[in-house]
Structure 1
């Protein structure tokens, strides 16, 4: 690999693996979307613990599990597709290399470098798959906790503490889900490496910038921030 490849690869891993650490710093003052959603989901669990009927809560959790299962299934298909090229022999690899050269204008890469590029895409997808699997398991744990919540107000259960404990399972589940979705962004950026190191660097920077904007500057982020403030004021 050339120094440009190593530099672009370093930027990619800093953007991908360092996103969670850099987000609170780059988001600046105030809330960002992930932080607000932690509070919103905890408020949801607080209401769940005092509700008499929890049909809506179980339906919402079922929807979340279905969403994570869909993404996990899509990951498996994408991994199979990339692995089919990666292990499909020299002809398959050369076909991908020629496409990258035609579109990106880059020189045809060696088979070893091409395998590394496809391996990076597979790594992103595999990490996302593991995140989705862990998210599904934690969501199922949360669903069990919701089902185990006593309905009788005469129960000696400390509902505030129970809601906090349930939220401590739900929030990591959704963090894992978000991490799995984020892997799609960086898998797409990794695919850009097929066209050259400059495309990889631009793809990583674009994915990171887009994710950061959605956390802080998007209309959804601003609306959820206002909703969190209203929830905080009502408690």
Structure 2
């Protein structure tokens, strides 16, 4: 590997490992989409415990599980494709290199494919863990009795929120792995492409958390929910 390759890989690792710390700093200063969604889901779980019929909650959970399952299945196919080339022997590697990748020694080509594979595997593990946690949340929703005056529904709602938020955070991490896998794939064209790709992926992810229309809309929703929760129960 050339010094330019090493520099590009170091930048990739820095962006990959540094994304979460940067996001935490931004969330403390400005708020982020993920942080706002945590409150929205917490309110959802609190409302769920007070609903007599939880059909809508089951439908929403089913949609989340289906989405995570779809991404996990797609990820598995991509892993199989990349692993097939990486472990398919010299003929597979040379055949892949002939379709337009940068002309490099086979060990370096293997390193490039291994980086893509690492991103995809990390994403798959996140999706699997997300699905498991979502199933745990379904069990919690199913366990809430319809009528029980002695039940502390506020505490149960908070506990359910503490379960669903990590589940969907894992889903977000799995989706994020796609962005970094695409950046890693740019390395096939050369180290400059890898550097540009990972910077673009990092910037796009931060923008979607901070400045995208969805982030601004969810921020408004959070403000409304917080203002409503601060009013307390209506006077008799």
State if a TM-score over 0.5 links the two structures.
yes
Kept after mapping to 2: 8 A contact 1:132/1:180: yes
1:6 correspondence with 2:19? no
Partner residue in 1 for 2:112: 117
CA distance in 1 between counterparts of 2:133 and 2:39 reads: 18
Number of aligned residue pairs: give it. Answer: 229
What's the CA shift for 1:100? 3.9
Unaligned runs of at least 5 residues, structure 1: none
Partner residue in 1 for 2:169: 175
1:1-235 matched pairs, under 5 angstroms: 1-26=1-26, 29-101=29-101, 106=102, 108-154=103-149, 156-235=150-229
Task: Note the alpha carbon deviations across 1:8-54, whole angstroms, 9 max, x for none.
Answer: 11111111122111113356732210010000000100100111111
Kept after mapping to 2: 8 A contact 1:27/1:212: no
Unaligned runs of at least 5 residues, structure 2: 230-236
CA distance in 2 between counterparts of 1:50 and 1:64 reads: 21
Kept after mapping to 2: 8 A contact 1:27/1:216: no
CA distance in 1 between counterparts of 2:25 and 2:2 reads: 32
3-state secondary structure, aligned to 1:50:
coil
3-state secondary structure, aligned to 2:99:
helix
| Runs of 4+ in structure 1 over 4 Å off | none
CA distance in 1 between counterparts of 2:138 and 2:177 reads: 25
Kept after mapping to 2: 8 A contact 1:23/1:212: yes
**1:28–1:162 distance in 2 versus 1, CA, 3 Å:** closer
**1:166–1:229 distance in 2 versus 1, CA, 3 Å:** same
Partner residue in 1 for 2:234: none
Q: CA RMSD in A?
A: 1.3
Q: TM-score when scaled to structure 1?
A: 0.94
Task: Note the alpha carbon deviations across 1:141-171, whole angstroms, 9 max, x for none.
Answer: 00000000011042x2111111111111100
